[in-house]
Structures are given as C-alpha cells and as structure tokens.
C-alpha cells in the first residue's frame, strides 16, 4: 500500500512543482524508468533491495508503480526545479535535498515492510546510490549519450562490489 501512496504523492508533487513542458524531460524520464527496470531484470535472482507486496496481491504491483510512476515522475519534479544558476553549492544542496527525500521515503518503506534489503545492501548504500543517481540524471538530461555511457561503468562497479555475476542473472 505504501507504493500506491508514494505514487499518488509524486503525482501530486508533479502537479504542484513540475514544469508543464514535460516533453523536454521525456528522454531522461525514460532513462530513469529503464534503469530501474534493468535493476529488476539483472538482480532478479540476487536482489539487493526488494519491493514487497505489503498488502497488495503481488510484489509486481509496487515494482511497476516504481518503474512507471515513481521514478519518471520524481525525475520530472527533480529536473524541473534543478537550480539554473551555475553555482555548484546550490546544485549540491539541491542534490542532497532530493537524496534526503528518497532516503526518508525508503526508511519509511523499510519500517513499513515495503522494502527489504539483501546481500549486503542497506540504507547507507541507498543514500550513496541515490546521490549518484541524481547526479547521473542531471548529466543524462544535459548530455544523454554521455549519461548513458557513464552509467555503464557505474553499474559494473556496483555489480563487482555486490558480487552480482552473470551466473546470478535470470
């Protein structure tokens, strides 16, 4: 049920805070959804974090809500309000702010039993992951090909750190 609540909250946040010119963000919204879907595929048999049904009939529902609503809509809100000035400090604070939102939502999800951790993953790793994710989303928005290319070694590094080998993939 937490996944449904979060989806509604992100949609409401988008209505209030997101730029109505959503088309300019569309490639990066797809990138966010694709990356989340790839995690579900790559780590299908060796989960680092797992969405739990938590009152819903199957775990596929919260996964789909995250892939189709949560990630794209939160990315839209994030990019719509990214500081336009070139001051690195304001951009860093903004990334930390959004990371904090994601960490808080994940903390509540863990406490509610909507997310479980496995194979060495924890909230600290999620915090680091979220911070890098928001940097990567901005890079992808500005330079899509560069963002795609940068995501490959980042994914590889995580696979090495958490021992996600090809033998563990579906």
Q: What is the pLDDT of residues 45-81, one digit of tens each?
A: 999 999 999 888 898 999 999 999 999 999 999 999 9
Q: Which two tokens stand for residue 127?
A: 């915090």
Question: Which H or E run includes 50?
Answer: strand 49-51
> In the predicted model, what is the mean pLDDT of residues 17-26?
97
Could you tell me which residue, 167 or 29, shows the higher pLDDT? 29
CA atoms in the 13 A half-sphere facing the CB of 163: 4
pLDDT tens-digit profile of 83-136? 988 799 999 999 999 999 999 999 999 999 999 999 999 999 999 999 999 999
Sequence-ordered alpha helix ranges (H) in the chain = 2-17, 26-42, 60-65, 71-80, 88-112, 123-142, 144-161
pLDDT band at 22 (very low <50, low <70, confident <90, very high): very high
Helix-helix angle 144-161:123-142, to 10 degrees: 160
How many Cα neighbours within 13 Å face the side chain of 157? 7
């Amino acid at each position: 049920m937490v996944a449904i609540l979060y989806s509604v909250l992100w949609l409401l946040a988008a209505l209030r805070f997101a730029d109505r010119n959503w088309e300019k963000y569309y490639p990066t919204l797809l990138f966010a959804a694709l990356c989340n879907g790839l995690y579900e595929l790559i780590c299908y048999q060796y989960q680092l974090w797992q969405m739990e049904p938590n009152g819903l009939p199957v775990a596929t529902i919260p996964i789909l809500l995250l892939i189709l609503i949560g990630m794209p809509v939160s990315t839209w809100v994030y990019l719509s309000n990214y500081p336009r000035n070139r001051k690195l400090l304001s951009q860093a604070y903004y990334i930390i702010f959004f990371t904090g939102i994601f960490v808080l939502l994940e903390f509540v999800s863990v406490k509610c039993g909507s997310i479980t951790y496995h194979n060495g993953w924890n909230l600290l790793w999620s915090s680091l992951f979220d911070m890098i994710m928001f940097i990567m989303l901005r890079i992808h928005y500005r330079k899509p090909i560069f963002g795609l290319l940068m995501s490959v070694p980042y994914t590889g590094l995580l696979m090495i750190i958490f021992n996600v080998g090809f033998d563990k993939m579906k």
